[in-house]
A and B are shown apart, each in its own frame.
Chain A
Amino acid sequence: GEDVEQSLFLSVREGDSSVINCTYTDSSSTYLYWYKQEPGAGLQLLTYIFSNMDMKQDQRLTVLLNKKDKHLSLRIADTQTGDSAIYFCAENNQGGKLIFGQGTELSVKP
């Protein structure tokens, strides 16, 4: 079946690194995504990784994929207060259909 799990909350201090974790069940997932949602807004695509990769880096963001364990993580370096938001991971194996996790609320304290 299709299921994506995330921890619900993460609190870090400004300047620290944040690591948000996600597990998924569908081994046929082709792409895995990270989205950010700020209060009252839609979802902003942060980054995504193809299933045959194990790492992708984009400025302060690093995505790690462990396909054997079906584990995805997003590392945000030098976390800022503006990074406070809800972060969703999602998997895709059927065109436009994304399966989302519950979201991780990241709180960044000054």
Chain B
Amino acid sequence: KAGVTQTPRYLIKTRGQQVTLSCSPISGHRSVSWYQQTPGQGLQFLFEYFSETQRNKGNFPGRFSGRQFSNSRSEMNVSTLELGDSALYLCATSGGTNYNEQFFGPGTRLTVL
């Protein structure tokens, strides 16, 4: 069974630009959560999607948004990028026989110059 895939793996953008990251869940998983990981703040929850609906949201500004498609794939978008948005963005998916197990993808490393 294929794991969680995230694309792209690496991105370099400049301030003010926007970026879209993609997450494809494990087959059968319907919940997708996004996390931001930085050396200073650690791992912070961004939002969770289930059946194309946002079910939970963290404390991030409105520049961070997401969506989920009918095949459970999810995208997150960050608009008007700031230097502080440089981070590893991780998605985690759950579902199937055990919704309590969340499996993470390898992450997208975003660098904002």
Give Cα distance in the complex from A97 to B106, angstroms: 18
- How far is B56's CA from A105's CA once the two chains are assembled, in angstroms? 30
B55 pairs with A96, CB closer than 8 A: yes
Complex contact A96–B42 (CB within 8 A) = no
A96 touches B105 (CB 8 A): no
Report B95 CB to chain A, min CB distance, Å. 10
Are B50 and A95 interface neighbours, CB within 8 A?
yes
Question: Which applies to chain B's interface (DSSP): helix, strand, loop or mixed?
Answer: strand
Interface size on A, residues (CB 8 A): 24
Q: Are A98 and B102 in contact (CB under 8 A)?
A: yes
Distance A58 CA – B32 CA, assembled complex (angstroms): 26
Cβ-defined partner of A45 (8 Å) among B42, B45, B103 = B103
Residues of A within 8 A of B56 (CB): 94-97
Of B43, B48, B101, B106, which one neighbours A41 at CB under 8 angstroms?
Answer: B106
